Amino acid sequence: MTTYIVLLGPPGAGKGTQAEVISDSLKLAHISSGDIFRENLKNETELGKLAQGYMNRGELVPDDVTIAMIRERLTRPDCANGAVLDGFPRTPAQATALEGMLKELDGTVRSVPYINVPSEVLVARLSGRWTCQQGHVYHVVFNPPQVTGKCDVDGLELYQREDDQPATVERRIRVYLEQTSPLIEYYRERGLLREVDGTQAIDQVTADLLAAIQKG
């Protein structure tokens, strides 16, 4: 049976940073809904044009569009063993849709690690974040690249995300609290939630996440 891990946590919690390492370590695909939207934005696809306004305002892209996008992504060959989901689901409707999709794929959500980081820490993380077009993530202080402005993995130029401006970050955190945080209870009730202290150093968070996932 295929295995799916859902990484929960507010904007800036470290979902992208950790999903990269965990998916490598468990040999699962890494699916970041935000990265897929940004890729579409860059390529000026219809999906990208539709998502742009929502993303720039720090709001969620509508459920039907997001669900269809993830449904398609989950059927690709690299998801044969399963996937680490980073940024999806983000609403109760998306969580219900995911259950249905995984049933069709004869899979199940095995574990839902929740990277807990208080709001006041998130702003500092996002204002110092630099990222490459492939979604590799750095921080000027907490995780600097070896060469300033260049990605360690692929040498691509690093840029700051449009939605990391303070006013948009505030909006994203509010949207998370209103629309996404109910999923904490949703998965707790199903016995799948594993809370991890996301304020620790990056390597320690990785170790705690892997331990939490292995415990099942």
Does residue 22 come out as left (phi exceeding 0), alpha (psi in the -120 to 50 range) or beta? alpha
Contacts of 174 (CB under 8 A, 6+ apart): none
Specify the stretch interacting with ligand AP5 by CB under 6 A; choose among 21-29, 82-90, 101-109, 207-215.
82-90
Determine if 82 is a binding residue for Mg ion (CB under 5 A).
no
| Options 15, 38, 73, 194, the catalytic residue | 15
Residue of 199, 159, 155, 214 whose CA lies nearest to 13:
199
As beta bridge partners, residue 6 has: 85
As beta bridge partners, residue 189 has: none
Separation of alpha carbons 84 and 4, rounded Å: 6
Query: Does residue 89 have a cis peptide bond before it, meaning omega lies within 30 degrees of 0?
Result: yes
Examine the residue annotation and report whether 190 is marked as an active-site residue of this protein. no
Q: Which partner from the list ligand AP5, Mg ion, none does 23 bind, CB cut-off 5 to 8 Å by kind?
A: none
Q: At closest approach, how far in Å is the CB of 141 from ligand AP5?
A: 8
Determine if 61 is a binding residue for ligand AP5 (CB under 6 A).
yes
> Which CB, 97 or 137, lies closer to Mg ion?
137
Backbone angles phi, psi at 55, to 5 degrees: -65, -45
Examine the residue annotation and report whether 27 is marked as an active-site residue of this protein. no
Which of 9, 10, 14, 16: binder of Mg ion (CB under 5 A)? 16
Which of 205, 209, 212, 213: binder of ligand AP5 (CB under 6 A)? 205
Examine the residue annotation and report whether 90 is marked as an active-site residue of this protein. yes
In the three-class reduction of DSSP (H, G, I as helix; E, B as strand; rest coil), residue 72 is classed as: helix
Determine if 23 is a binding residue for ligand AP5 (CB under 6 A).
no
Joined tokens for residue 216: 């099942």
- Residues at the site binding ligand AP5, with contacts judged by CB under 6 A: 9, 11-17, 33-34, 37, 54-55, 58-61, 66, 87-88, 90, 94, 125-126, 128-129, 137-139, 142-143, 163, 172, 198, 201-202, 205
